[in-house]
Structure 1
Amino acid sequence: MMNAKKTNRRPRIVIIGGGTGLPVILNGLKAKQADVTAIVTVADDGGNSGVLRNEMNAVPPGDMRNVLVSLSNIPHMHKDIFQYRFASKDNSLAGHSIGNLIISAMAEMKGNIYEAIQLLSKMMLVEGHVYPACEEPLELHAVYKDGSTASGESNIAKSRKEIEHIYVTTKGETEPKAARKVISSILNADMVVLGPGSLFTSILPNLMIPEIAKAVQETSANVVYICNIMTQLGETENFTDANHVEVLHRHMKQKFVDTVLVNIGEVPENYMDKEKYDEYLVQVAHDFKGLQAEVPMVISNNFLKLENNGVFHDGEKVVEELFRMSFDPQYSGKKNKLQMESL
């Protein structure tokens, strides 16, 4: 692993994923003034993003909208306007956020999502870089262990079958290509962070783009996986933290993760609102022996944040750990240590 030394240069940190976990970490990295690049999944086909994707044959905007806001320096009032969702009684606009509509309109105006996001980044005074993983929408496919299949990110968890593997395709069935500057960002990074986010539907879709998979395997950066706190309905039911990493390595056909961050804070019994957070089941079980067999370095700490009867990663604590790794010489030397560290 090559890491930022104690110089005035900000650590170059690339974070890959999607969903609600990504902005939490990006907010913290921005506050610490890291040189941040967010690479965002384009396989989402659910909710209002999915509606815009299908009606306009466009890259789904929702995850990119949240990332842009998390790295933006525009006033909070402007962010609130960008994030505003129309009420359910507003007929054709019901549930759509203004930001999603602006991103979709900008992509149509510029002719592609990449240039649209770069222009919006300037307009929104984004601190860092935001790139779609691919410049066209991807369809996510799952093959279950019983041999059956499903297509569409929003459909994969419905059967609650155990997933053998996932893959992505373009509309034209051509091999997906990484968006501009994605590969160079990964190869030039000090640290590449995966997650937190849904394993099969937010993280792996990006890694199933062959160019991105190759870059993540070849980069000299410290590749860090932030393990989920809770198991997820239809995706990671009954998973341990080691199972999460095993799935990543199986999909990439080699062990490529250098460091895993795992939460050891305990979620209080009956704390979580099961109706509001209905896709999350139970706390991920720990298998430190299994983790040590998969990765050179395991970092365990209480990364738990309990808020509004929901369970989240504490962004400040996670980012503190990422920064400590960025400047700590013990993390240099890719895949050359087998060490357990409990903080």
Structure 2
Amino acid sequence: MTATNRIIRVIKGRRPKVVVIGGGTGLPVILKSLREQNADATAIVTVADDGGSSGVIRDYINVVPPGDIRNVLVALSDLPQLTLDIFQYRFKSHDAFFSGHAIGNLIIAALSEMESGIFDAVQRLSEMMAVDGHVYPAANVALTLNAAFQDGTQLAGESEITAARKQIKRVWVTKTDPDDQEEPTAVQEVVEAIMAADVVVLGPGSLFTSILPNLMIKNLGEAVKQTKAEIIYICNIMTQKGETERFTDANHVRVLNEHLGQHVVDTVLVNTGQVPANYLDHQKYDEILWPVEHDFDGLRQLGCRVISDNFLKLDNHGVFHNGQKVASEIMNLAFQVNTTKRGE
């Protein structure tokens, strides 16, 4: 969809500022729909992934894992589809190095070496890809996710944490480089985007491994707590192995608030669409368990406004959020809260 036929919506002569924080496959879906609805979108993307092509590249050349960043760039790009398809192409060769790698991941890794880090690399690539909006890595260096479990044990690394299938008590991030013991920080542009936003959206994405790794970066988390923006949480449709087994929607919000040390979530988007029995392909989506149970009383006790609707999209035996419907709710909230929170 081109700029000329997008839904044009403005707040006092400007586009609504929407910051989306997270990672994983759901983030690009929401961002693409927000772009089509004329949001001034900023994506703040996790840099703590250690799986797939991203993880292999990070192990080889010690750069921030590029997979989530690659998908977000494509979602916000105005380049022709063929060019984007090439950027997204994943090698099927049996070559020991290239097999399974996406071309875009290799380009991001190369630019990270050419520039002063992942942040400047992504800004350069955003210009090259005609990105409508902003794509900000949550930190300028690779981070490692750490978890403490309810049984008192600890593990490091996203893959290790989820594979343990234990109940997570809390998570935090450290710099992956063992020689750099300084506390991870977000660059100033990330903090400024959060402070200037009309709405800040958490998710959709894995609670402990896609959303919280960003919020555990101290100055980023502080910005989320201090901003005047409406904080919206897009609750997951399904629970996940090793993360949110047996979680209700209220459990998700409670964990977010506990990690940030105060009630931060203003509004929760909750799916009420029913997933058909035996629809989900559990072999293809092996981390997914069953639908998140609703606890509307619990959400209200946490001080949340609840927006519930059929946000469900079924595709190829997978369960996803309907990007257009979710983006419409986010845009409506941006307009509703603007006057009361900013006095404009």
TM-score by length of 2: 0.94
Match of 1:313 among 321, 330, 333: 321
Q: Give the deviation of 1:5 after TM superposition.
A: 7.8
- Within 5 Å, which residues of 2 pair with 1:43-58? 43-58=48-63
Amino acid in the other structure paired with 2:12 = T
Q: Give the deviation of 1:329 after TM superposition.
A: 5.2
What's the counterpart of residue 341 of structure 1? none
Q: Give the deviation of 1:296 after TM superposition.
A: 3.2
What's the counterpart of residue 85 of structure 1? 90
CA deviation vs aligned residue, 1:283-331 (integer Å, no higher than 9, x gap)? 0000000011113311111100011110000000001111111112598
What's the counterpart of residue 74 of structure 2? 69
**Whole-angstrom CA distance in 2 between matches of 1:189 and 1:310:** 32
Amino acid in the other structure paired with 1:200 = F
What's the counterpart of residue 282 of structure 1? 290
**Whole-angstrom CA distance in 1 between matches of 2:99 and 2:70:** 18
CA deviation vs aligned residue, 1:232-281 (integer Å, no higher than 9, x gap)? 01000000000000100111111111111000111011110111111000
Matched, 1:28 2:33: yes
**Whole-angstrom CA distance in 2 between matches of 1:332 and 1:21:** 30
CA change 1:6–1:168 in 2 (3 A) is: closer
Runs of 4+ residues over 6 Å off in structure 1: none
**Matched residue of 1:92: which SS?**
coil
Q: Give the deviation of 1:332 after TM superposition.
A: 3.3
The answer (yes or no) to whether the contact 1:325–1:331 under 8 Å persists in 2 is no
**Whole-angstrom CA distance in 2 between matches of 1:330 and 1:106:** 38
**Whole-angstrom CA distance in 1 between matches of 2:337 and 2:91:** 50
Q: Which structure has more RCO (C-alpha within 8 Å, separation ≥ 6)?
A: 1
Amino acid in the other structure paired with 2:283 = E
TM-score by length of 1: 0.94
**Whole-angstrom CA distance in 2 between matches of 1:86 and 1:292:** 48
**Whole-angstrom CA distance in 1 between matches of 2:208 and 2:123:** 27
Aligned positions, number? 331
Amino acid in the other structure paired with 1:140 = L
Amino acid in the other structure paired with 2:86 = I
Amino acid in the other structure paired with 2:233 = Y
What's the counterpart of residue 110 of structure 1? 115
Match of 1:133 among 120, 138, 143: 138
Q: Give the deviation of 1:89 after TM superposition.
A: 1.3
Gaps of 5+ in 1: 335-343
What's the counterpart of residue 299 of structure 1? 307
What's the counterpart of residue 142 of structure 1? 147
Q: Give the deviation of 1:151 after TM superposition.
A: 0.5
**Matched residue of 2:163: which SS?**
coil
- Within 5 Å, which residues of 2 pair with 1:206-225? 206-225=214-233
CA deviation vs aligned residue, 1:137-179 (integer Å, no higher than 9, x gap)? 0010010000011110111111100000000001222100102
What's the counterpart of residue 160 of structure 1? 165
Gaps of 5+ in 2: 1-8
**Whole-angstrom CA distance in 1 between matches of 2:328 and 2:44:** 21
Greater mean deviation of Cα atoms: 106-115 or 302-311: 106-115
**Whole-angstrom CA distance in 2 between matches of 1:323 and 1:132:** 23
CA deviation vs aligned residue, 1:11-60 (integer Å, no higher than 9, x gap)? 00000000001000000011011111100000001111011111111111
The answer (yes or no) to whether the contact 2:77–2:129 under 8 Å persists in 1 is yes
**Whole-angstrom CA distance in 2 between matches of 1:113 and 1:330:** 33
Identical residues among aligned pairs (%): 57
Amino acid in the other structure paired with 2:52 = G
**Whole-angstrom CA distance in 1 between matches of 2:30 and 2:10:** 22
CA change 1:282–1:78 in 2 (3 A) is: same
The answer (yes or no) to whether the contact 1:139–1:151 under 8 Å persists in 2 is yes
RMSD across aligned positions (CA): 1.5
The answer (yes or no) to whether the contact 2:186–2:220 under 8 Å persists in 1 is yes
What's the counterpart of residue 64 of structure 2? 59
**Whole-angstrom CA distance in 1 between matches of 2:53 and 2:338:** 45
**Whole-angstrom CA distance in 1 between matches of 2:61 and 2:287:** 28
**Whole-angstrom CA distance in 2 between matches of 1:330 and 1:121:** 28
The answer (yes or no) to whether the contact 1:29–1:319 under 8 Å persists in 2 is yes
